[in-house]
Amino acid sequence: MEINSEDEYRLETSAWLAENIDLIEEKQPFSTLHWMPSRGRENQHHLDCQQRQKKLYDAGYAGVTVPTEYGGHGGEPWMQRIFREEAAGYQVHTGFFNSIISMTLPALLKHGTEEQKKTHIPSLISGEVSWCQLFSEPGAGSDLAGLATRAELDGEEFVIHGQKVWNSAAMYADMGILLVRTNPDAHKHEGITFLLFDMKQRGVEVRPLIQAHGAGHFAEVFIDGAKCHVSNVLGEVDKGWGPARAVMSNESAMIGGASGDNPQQLIQLAQELGKADEPVIRQKLVAVYVRNKLLKIMSGKISAAVRKGMSPPIHPSIVKLYVAHNRRLEGDLAQWLLGAAGVVVTNKASEWAMELLHARYPISIGGGTDEVHRNNLGEQALGLPRDIRVDRGIPWKDIPKG
């Protein structure tokens, strides 16, 4: 495209945002994203995010580059870049809708059948249908390939039994991306099948897991005899590890790209408390600010490579580990600034600081634990010897379970 076309798109985007979307500053300062002291507030948050996703989609700013035959707008990658640049400072975040689309859409586009793409992608990117991820299990978190949820074929339907855990927004989900064990005689990375799973059916029970900050965002899901037609297999039966890795890679990149505006909030907090001129505080603020700038640069390089169909120039695990460490530094600094006031639940800045402190845990666990990503870097990026695996080449059913 010629530069004048990009300029026109930028002007159009800027005008639409100004007319249709609130500025973050016009919302409550130190606003929280996951601080949910009541189920009512959590339900409203989900509804707001769903409506915002639909609003962005209708205006052409969600599903920008998705082909029109799958419900997208058939745009160019530079349009996404311009929208992100112009949307800075606007309330455009769509919560877990953004997250699950980032994880599920690439897998559907790459591994889905034409029927699956035409059926599921339009309602996914518009937010009309809510999705969740059903991967981790109580005995298969870091070692996801050890999953035990089983699916047995009965005619043209799989009958499924098992338990999943740490499933974000599962209580709102209409559909789920589900990993099941379909061949226990195969090695654990084989014999896994990826299903597009109907959550609104008999045999599915969702139980919210209440976290320290009061939110029930995570859930555990019990599946007892629920069914899934073979037409909803993503990829091939017993070959689900490939699509699953694509989802996990996009999940890591998505989490790594979630740099947020914490440096600005921390600077504002220091200024309001009269601590912005203290040398130690200034040093810590600079460290957080610089790390977030570096994180955005790394995330930008990865996104640019992905848009061009190239391999990322930076291993995604580096970005994932970097953002996890950033969250620890930010949470500690917020509480240090506030002192005892950091746990006063009637103050917005304190709620924000407590959420920031708590964020270190899901960020360090979601999308693969820090330990898993360090192993990935050692083995894949640095070429270090792989961990000794006593289960290598052994059928899953013969691996000792503890």
CATH number at residue 186: 2.40.110.10
Residue 115's φ and ψ, nearest 5 degrees, are: -65, -40
By percentage, how much of the chain surpasses pLDDT 90? 52
Summarize pLDDT for 94-109 with one digit per residue, the tens: 988 998 998 899 999 9
Nearest in space to 46 (alpha carbons), one of 185, 169, 162, 209: 169
Whether the predicted pLDDT of 1 surpasses 50: no
- Examine the domain organization and report whether 279 and 362 are in the same domain: yes
CATH number of the domain enclosing 15: 1.10.540.10
Q: Note whether residue 389 is domain-resident.
A: no
In this structure, what token pair is assigned to residue 235?
A: 């990829």
- Examine the domain organization and report whether 60 and 138 are in the same domain: no
Whether the predicted pLDDT of 307 surpasses 80: no
Confidence label for 402 from pLDDT (cuts 50, 70 and 90): low
- Examine the domain organization and report whether 120 and 141 are in the same domain: no
Summarize pLDDT for 382-397 with one digit per residue, the tens: 999 987 777 777 888 8
How many domains does the chain divide into? Answer: 3
| Residue 342 DSSP code | G
Domain hosting 360: range is 257-381
User: Is the model more confident about 33 or about 395?
Assistant: 395
Nearest in space to 165 (alpha carbons), one of 183, 142, 198: 142
Beta-carbon contacts of 269 under 8 Å, excluding residues fewer than 6 positions away, are 30, 334, 337, 338, 349, 353
**What is the model's pLDDT at position 255?**
66
Q: Note whether residue 393 is domain-resident.
A: no
Q: Note whether residue 398 is domain-resident.
A: no
- Examine the domain organization and report whether 123 and 44 are in the same domain: yes
Beta-carbon contacts of 8 under 8 Å, excluding residues fewer than 6 positions away, are none
